[in-house]
Amino acid sequence: MTQPPVVAIKDLHVGFRSDKGDVPIVTGVDLDLPAGKIVCLVGESGCGKSVTAKAVLRVLDPAGRITGGQVLLDRADGGSVDIAALPMNSRTLRSIRGGDIAMIHQEPMSFLSPLYTIGNQIVEALLLHRRMGKAEAREAGIDMLHQVGMPEPEIRFDRYTFELSGGQRQRAMIAMALICQPRLLIADEPTTALDVTTQATILALIKRLQAERDMAVLFITHDLGVVREVADEVAVMYLGKIVEQGPVEQVLDAPKHPYTQGLLASMPRLDADFKAPLEAIAGAVPPPSRRPKGCGFHPRCRRALAGLCDMSPPPRIADTGRMVLCHAYGPEAGRFPAAAETRRRLEIVAHAAPKQPAPLLSIRELKKHFPIRKGFFDRIVGHVRAVDGVSFDIMAGETLGLVGESGCGKSTLGQTLVGLHRADAGSVRFAGGNGPVDVLAARGAEAKALRTDIRMVFQDPTGSLNPRLRVRDIIGEVLDIEGRLSRHEISERVETLLDQVGLSRAYADRYPHAFSGGQRQRIAIARALASEPKLVIADEAVSALDVSVQSQIITLLQSLQKNLGLTYLFVSHDLGVVANISDRVAVMYAGRIVEIGETEAIFRRPAHPYTEALLAAIPGRGQRARPAVMDGNVAPQGCPFAPRCPYAIAACRQDRPELQAAPGGQSVACIRAEELHLQTPVAAA
């Protein structure tokens, strides 16, 4: 007899009270969470996956309520409890939270209390659910920290949250969740805020702990790569319903629902043809108060049939562990034209950047250090070497991707180039309209011209637009300050720009709060283009967007580059996006460029151990040839990567390596580049 699932969600409905009445967020979710399996719940922002997870533990926001359905928990002693029916403050519910079901979150900094040591918080969960003495609990806590891979657990046990790194905080949160041996672990985007390499270690940790304890895991994410890496089963959510569900290989390799197909096609992937243009899902996720009639996905669906998909809700077609919610597989399947295969363009679209003899931007030995001040008098005790001697060229008309993990200095580099920071040393030469300009020393008219020639697109679409100005004023601000054009001409230029970025001209009179994230980013791009720049620095411009919106913006950037002859410096931590959009890639670590060259060379024939580690850490590639990189510090002398490098020799810690030619055609800063044979998960073309 098969064991009942640890938690069975049946026909769950969750709504939010608002001044417009009850807004349904989750409309009929059925999900089984069996022991020993990792079930991934995938969807974009607004689909209701976090709300579902919170509803299981009854920790919804105050405005949210479960309006229907059951959440059946199979307790260890054999009984079954409907969590949805329990009163809010019941004892049973409190004993379930932390005891039977535990949850970990995306942001450990806000989840862990800054007032107590992590040891204190881990042990609190233990003391609440078990009878134990303090000393015994402390030992159990340290043991738990050791199991989750925290270095030096006895010392870290008495540390505060802010004294730990991002990965360590996440481990502390996992320890807190698992200390009472829960039967179900709900992980709500636990690795989204982490670096690729840290993410790889945390994912491996969760998999290992799950296997050891035969736990059920509900893993919520928007990253299909992570799904492929950890999941046994995957459920895809859209607008509060599960539209496809099944074993992970089946769903990801042969997706049935058009939304799943669209998601997979719009994700930048590091396969043989990573330069293939991304396909975007048309339209955007509607707000929950404006759900379409019939099938929720039909306005954006390639296969939608008028008269059917917009009238009646789609049937649930279930078949040996696989489920899809779509008319095209139901009783009306015959009316649909034959399904097109998930289109994958096999020919590599060669983006031939015209090779200019002289580079557009030449950077030599650029340095930017931030002083560390300590003590009552703010004495300078050291420097954070954010940018530590960077030299490279950006050619006109190309897209140079700048990739690296958080803290490597890529954002600081971009901001120094555009003028937000003042560089401490080095030189930057820009091939402006009137001859070469020294960017760092420019004053007056030259500085003014630079401001219009080099523009920036910021990461956060919400924070980068002034909420008090209309779109027209935001986009036209640079022209208004320049003073060259009249009011009327600026207005016309704004309308042209809105056309170019794919927004309606009527939007010029609106305020930013009326737009979605993707639309706001388009406005930000229009602002950057307003002054007809030559170089646009995109500082993580797509990182804060959903996957389907990301692909729209990437396509937009590429077409703008072709039409307007722009040059991009594309700063990002997402290797897939960088591979897709860039002609050349520069890999940055600890303020230095460690490898730079054509995208093909970097991804297919990496020459630096750090590039290899980055590529190996990408989830879902199935590549575990090298063990994941350990935590380490940056060495003050010699190669900055030496403490973490599996190939380091004594000489690496002595001299700082400079960029030199590598066999694959790129430049690499590694003294062992000639002799190392590094691996890459990207298949050969």
Partner 1 sequence: MTTLEQGTDLPRGHDGHWALVWRKFTRHRLGVAGGIVVLLAYLVALIPEFLAPVTLEAYNPSYAYAPPQTLHWGVESENGWQFRPHVLAYEMVVDYNSGRRLFTPDPEGIIDVGLFVHGEPYRLIGLIPTDIHLFGPVEVGQPVFVVGADRLGRDILSRTIYGARISMTIGLVGVALSLVLGILIGGISGLFGGIIDNLIQRLIEFVQSVPSIPLWIGLAAAIPMSVPPLQVYFLITIILSILGWTSLARVVRGRFLAMRNEDFVKAARLDGAGPVRIVFRHMLPSFLSHIIATVSLAIPGMILAETALSYLGIGLRTPIVSWGVLLQEAQNVRTIASAPWLLLPGAAVAISVLALNFLGDGLRDAADPYSD
Build a one-symbol-per-residue string for 636-675: x at contacts with partner 1 by CB under 8 A, - elsewhere. ----------------------------------------
DSSP-derived 3-state class of residue 500: helix
Q: How far is the CB of 480 from partner 1 (least distance, A)?
A: 8
Identify the residue among 515, 570, 603, 610 touching partner 1 (CB under 8 A): 515
Contacting partner 1 within 433-472 (CB under 8 A): 448, 451-452, 455-456, 458-460, 463-469
CB 220 within 8 A of CB 188: yes
Interface with partner 1, residue 534, by CB under 8 A: no
Extract the tokens encoding 569.
């410096």
Distance CA 369, CA 58 (A): 47
Told to check if 313 binds partner 1 by CB under 8 A, we report no
- Tell me: does residue 522 bind partner 1 (CB under 8 A): yes
Nearest approach, Cβ of 559 to partner 1 (angstroms)? 5
Burial class (CB in 10 A: 0-12, 13-18, 19+), 152: exposed
Query: Tokens at residue 39, please?
Result: 């079930």
Report the residue number, 95 or 110, with the smaller CB distance to partner 1.
110
Binding test (CB under 8 A) with partner 1, winner from 52, 161, 555, 582: 555
Q: How far apart are alpha carbons 599 and 273 in whole angstroms?
A: 12
Of 56-64, 67-75, 253-261, 510-518, which part binds partner 1 (CB under 8 A)?
Answer: 510-518
Nearest distance from C-beta of residue 463 to partner 1, angstroms: 4
Q: Least Å distance between CB 310 and partner 1?
A: 15
CA distance 650 to 648: 7
For partner 1, which is the closer residue by CB, 393 or 460?
460
> Which of 298, 571, 300 is closest to 413 using CA atoms?
571
394 φ/ψ angles, rounded to the nearest 5 degrees: -115, 120
Give me the least distance between CB of 190 and partner 1, in Å please. 26
Kindly report the length of the chain: 685
Smallest Cα–Cα separation from 471: which of 512, 502, 529, 531? 512
Tell how far CA 438 is from the center of its chain.
36
The residues in 288-307 that bind partner 1, with binding defined as CB under 8 A, are 290, 299
- From 136, 249, 489, 509, residue interacting with partner 1 (rule: CB under 8 A): 509
**Gyration radius of the chain's alpha carbons:** 27
> Of the ranges 29-37, 57-65, 346-354, 494-502, which one interacts with partner 1 (CB under 8 A)?
494-502
Task: State which residue, 116 or 511, has the beta carbon closest to partner 1.
Answer: 511
Torsion of CA 679, 681, 682, 685, to 10 degrees: 70
Least distance (Å) from partner 1 to the CB of residue 479? 9
**Dihedral, CA atoms, 299, 301, 302, 303, nearest 10 degrees?**
-100
Selected from 282, 318, 358, 625, the binder of partner 1 by CB under 8 A is: 282
The minimum distance between CB 266 and partner 1, in angstroms, equals 13
Identified binder of partner 1 from the candidate list 53, 142, 263, 418, rule CB under 8 A: 418
- Minimum Å distance from CB 62 to partner 1? 14
Cα distances from 352 to residues 273, 356, 392, 398, 562, in angstroms, run 16, 12, 20, 9, 11
**CA 138 and chain centroid, separation:** 36
- Residue in 151, 287, 321, 436 binding partner 1, rule: CB under 8 A: 287
Q: Which of 96, 237, 308, 556 binds partner 1 (CB under 8 A)?
A: 556
Per CB under 8 A, the segment of 26-34, 327-335, 477-485, 577-585 that binds partner 1 is 477-485
Residue that is written with structure tokens 């233990």 in the block? 126
Identify which of residues 119 and 533 has a Cβ nearer to partner 1 in the complex: 533
Q: Give the nearest distance from C-beta 499 to partner 1 in angstroms.
A: 9
Q: Pick between residue 424 and residue 473 the one whose CB is nearest to partner 1.
A: 473
HEC-encoded secondary structure of 330-386 = CCCHHHCCCCCCCCCCCCCCCCCCCCCCCCCEEEEEEEEEEEEEECCCCEEEEEEEE
**Complex with partner 1: residue 251 or 304, whichever CB lies closer:** 304
Strands 64-74 and 7-18: antiparallel
Among 503, 569, 575, 614, binds partner 1 (CB under 8 A): 503
Residues 535-554 that bind partner 1 (CB under 8 A): 552
Hunting for tokens 């003294």 — which residue is that? 671
Kindly provide the b/e burial profile for residues 549-574, where b requires at least 16 CB atoms within 10 angstroms of the residue's own CB.
bbbbbbbbbbebbeeeebbbbbbbbb
Nearest distance from residue 51's CB to partner 1, in Å? 18
Q: Which stretch in 392-400, 417-425, 486-494, 605-613 sits in contact with partner 1 by CB under 8 A?
A: 417-425
Q: How far is the CB of 423 from partner 1 (least distance, A)?
A: 16
Give the nearest distance from C-beta 468 to partner 1 in angstroms. Answer: 4
Residue 245, both tokens:
């569900």
Q: What is the DSSP string of 454-489?
A: EEEE-S-TTTTS-TTS-HHHHHHHHHHHH--S-HHH
Q: How many residues bind partner 1 (CB under 8 A)?
A: 54
**Cα dihedral sign for 334, 336, 341, 342?**
negative
Q: For 422, left (φ over 0), alpha (ψ -120 to 50), or beta?
A: beta
The three-class DSSP label of residue 660 is strand
- Does residue 284 bind partner 1 (CB under 8 A)? yes
Closest C-alpha among 155, 152, 147 to residue 171: 147
Which of the stretches 157-165, 336-344, 476-484, 632-640 binds partner 1 when contact is defined by CB under 8 A?
476-484
Q: How far is the CB of 195 from partner 1 (least distance, A)?
A: 22
Taking CB under 8 A as the criterion, the residue among 502, 517, 631, 653 binding partner 1 is 502
Binding mask 189-228 for partner 1 (x = CB under 8 A): ----------------------------------------
Contact track, partner 1, 154-193, x by CB under 8 A:
----------------------------------------
Could you say which of 446, 477, 598, 631 contacts partner 1 (CB under 8 A)? 477
Q: What is the DSSP string of 285-342?
A: PPPGGGPPSSSTTGGG-TT--TTTTTTSPPPEEEETTEEEE-GGGSTTGGGSPPPPP-
> Which residues of this protein are in contact with partner 1, per CB under 8 A?
19, 280, 282-287, 290, 299, 418-420, 448, 451-452, 455-456, 458-460, 463-469, 477-478, 481-482, 500-504, 507, 509-511, 513-516, 518-519, 522, 527, 552, 555-556, 559-560
